[in-house]
Structure 1
Amino acid sequence: MFLIERYILTEVRRLTIIIVCFLVFMFACFSAQRYLTDAANGTLALEVVFNVVCYKVLIALEMLLPVGLYVAVSVALGQMYTDSEITAILAAGSSPMRIYRAILVLAIPLGILVTFISLYGRPWAYGQIYQLEQQSQSELDVSHLQANKFNTNSDGRMVLATKIDATHNHLTDALIYTSSPNKTSIYKAGSVDVIDPSPQHPAVMLHNGTGYVLDRSGQDDRKMVYHNLRVTLKPVVQSLDVRRKAASVAQLARSSDSADYAELQWRESRGLSTLLMVLLAIPLSRTRPRQGRFATLLPLTILFAAIFYGSNICRTLIANGSIPGVPGMWSVPLIMLFGLLALLASEFSLLKKKSR
């Protein structure tokens, strides 16, 4: 590789590594705080928090890697423009395409990696997260429940007990609340034994207590006094949106649902959008000498926000059937491509005028 390309690539690569590591650290801290709060509330087992955070970081790499390279390119080239290094390179007779070539050496492999993460890594990680969350929230593993505290899950089930014996799966002086579209059930028991902790059919045996089954229509309310009562609780069911995020590419391709098609196009377009976004940062990073390397961050930030929110809005409109599936999500990369070509044409026409 030529000296100029190697110099530019070294600066951009160093900044990319620093920025991505910082973003990953901040995102991991934010995710850990969120899931540790769930663990403290008894809605998630503490031992699965680390795994969930790791999977969340893998999902976030789909966005953090492009952002890191995008910011690194803008800052590194902005500094080189401020120090007149780019001016010296062009004055020596080098073509501006050498800058693009240096950035492409890093942008193309990263775009391929983002595509792989979006197509395969992201749905796999979502599947692992939802499996861990559903298992932790559905199965009656009392080891993560806390005494004298309302322990809830995402499906509205609540368990309260004064004493918890995790060794024997036994609760003392317990209150269990469950709800469904048709009825609400409340059980007060002197003691509770978990007889089936499986996520598919979680069941408990209640001893010496009172139960209330409230019909939402108000026609079949019941009260019962029991000595021994077996109750099968409702497992947590994944929502359609959850299953879509965890679905494989093959499953989405076979589906006729517009929301599945939008999700598929989103995954397929991530790599190309990354590449075009990074290339757009090159002409937009141009600054005047002594202007400062951060002078272009505002337009670059606006561009990134437009690409990010535009892609999300486009995906939502495709899922709702408001816009057709063709070009669908590919309309955003097409607009980015036309914008890049316009900037390139303007840049080269300006260079021709200066050379006369």
Structure 2
Amino acid sequence: MFLIERYVITEVLRPFLVMAGVLTFIFASYSSERYLAEAANGTLALDTVLDIVYYKVLIALEVLIPVALYVSVVLSLGRLYHDTEMTAIAASGVSPWRIYRAVLLLALPVAVGVAALSLYGRPWAYTNTYLLEQQSKTDLDVNHLQPERFNVNADNGRMILAQRIDRVTGRLQDVLIYDAGRGRTHLFRAHEAEVTDSSPLNPVLTLEQGTAYSLQRQGIQDQTMQFKTMTLRLDPTPQTDEFKRKAASSHVLEASAALSDQAELQWRQSRGLSTLLLALLAVPLSRTPPRRGRFARLLPVTAVFALVFYAGDISKSLVSNGTLPLTPGLWIVSLVMGLALLLAFCRDLGATRGRPA
């Protein structure tokens, strides 16, 4: 009974697995290159690179998997059309519904997996990624501070220059610290400094034998102070709203009244349905005349995917700033995709019923 469905699923499944693996490898390679460059520059600890890349790949899978499934359906069914196998299937009286059903049977568990990944894996991965980046990128971590060079924290603009660094004791020799505080710029010059607490949430140093300069940005009330020992508590590295939102659990977003939080929640909730509809839309998009080649419809196929992807991204921004109401919100993209799929399916059924016996 399911001979056609099994055949179509097999034809789609093999390229889907290969393409998903290739896309994941490419993305992981790109991420590794980026973070390895930061590790080489001393702004990221080397031992955390693999962990961060793992979490980044996990986040990207909610996009990579739908892309792989969509392209695999188009290429596989396009080959069947090219080899006139679809013509033979239709001539034997098989309804187009069975082709849709075959893709549905494969896409449904994939869509459920993408939905679970987006709802639960995405915030978990973002939380661990930001935590690792904060712990590793803190400008007071002597494990990746480089001597005789300006170590700059891009998040807060803080700069540390040390002639010598003892990574065992955490002590720095001949230290210059620049910190752009609230309303005033602080400059510290010390013979020696010890990192008491390297946490980005509560950074503390102990400075010995030096000079502290406090420069008022608007005004002339600058201050200079000589010291023998000073405990320096620096401003923590701020967490952006973007971080809090992406790392927040779905239950937290549900309880929030902020439009940006609701947009993030709708994005997560719509990923599974979008994956399913995109895979089913690939069925009519893959239709090509015999002997035309499986890549004959590459341009419209690419255009449809780009339209769906950017429409979702734009809708998320519109919901966040209040331009697009929460109802339908991001679901408007899925609604349009569903209507397009319904029209294509009705056209296929109508063409079958109108075919002469």
> Could you say which TM-score interval applies, normalised by the shorter chain?
over 0.9
CA distance in 2, matches of 1:137, 1:232: 18
* SS class of match (2:100): helix
CA distance in 2, matches of 1:114, 1:180: 43
Match of 2:226 in 1: 225
* SS class of match (1:208): strand
CA distance in 2, matches of 1:33, 1:216: 39
Match of 1:302 in 2: 303
Cα deviations across residues 274-308 of structure 1 (Å, max 9, x unaligned)? 10011001001001111010111111110010000
Q: TM-score by structure 2 length? A: 0.96
Summarize the alignment of residues 1-356 of structure 1 with structure 2, pairs less than 5 Å apart.
2-138=2-138, 140-153=140-153, 154-355=155-356
CA distance in 2, matches of 1:88, 1:72: 21
* 8 Å CA contact retained: 1:140, 1:202: yes
- Of stretches 157-166 and 19-28 in structure 1, the one that deviates more from structure 2 is 157-166
Amino acid at match of 2:281: L
Amino acid at match of 2:191: G
- Of stretches 165-174 and 155-164 in structure 1, the one that deviates more from structure 2 is 155-164
Amino acid at match of 2:207: L
* 8 Å CA contact retained: 2:204, 2:232: yes
* SS class of match (2:185): strand
Shift in Å, 1:350: 2.0
* SS class of match (1:269): helix
Query: After the TM superposition, which parts of structure 1 deviate over 3 Å for at least 4 consecutive aligned residues?
Result: none
Q: TM-score by structure 1 length? A: 0.96
Amino acid at match of 1:240: D
Amino acid at match of 1:167: V
* SS class of match (1:145): coil
Shift in Å, 1:351: 2.2
Cα deviations across residues 134-171 of structure 1 (Å, max 9, x unaligned)? 22234732011111222222222221212111001011
Shift in Å, 1:196: 2.3
CA RMSD of aligned residues (A): 1.4
Shift in Å, 1:260: 0.6
- Of stretches 176-185 and 81-90 in structure 1, the one that deviates more from structure 2 is 176-185
CA distance in 2, matches of 1:220, 1:133: 37
* SS class of match (1:178): strand
Shift in Å, 1:75: 0.4
Aligned residues: 356
Shift in Å, 1:352: 2.5
- Of stretches 137-146 and 311-320 in structure 1, the one that deviates more from structure 2 is 137-146
* 8 Å CA contact retained: 1:177, 1:185: yes
Amino acid at match of 1:84: T
* 8 Å CA contact retained: 1:157, 1:177: yes
CA distance in 2, matches of 1:200, 1:243: 15
Cα deviations across residues 226-252 of structure 1 (Å, max 9, x unaligned)? 232221112212101110000011110
Cα deviations across residues 109-130 of structure 1 (Å, max 9, x unaligned)? 0000010011000000000011
Shift in Å, 1:178: 1.5
* SS class of match (2:355): helix
- Structure 1 residues without counterparts, runs of 5 or longer: none
* 8 Å CA contact retained: 2:210, 2:227: yes
CA distance in 1, matches of 2:211, 2:222: 14
* SS class of match (2:215): strand
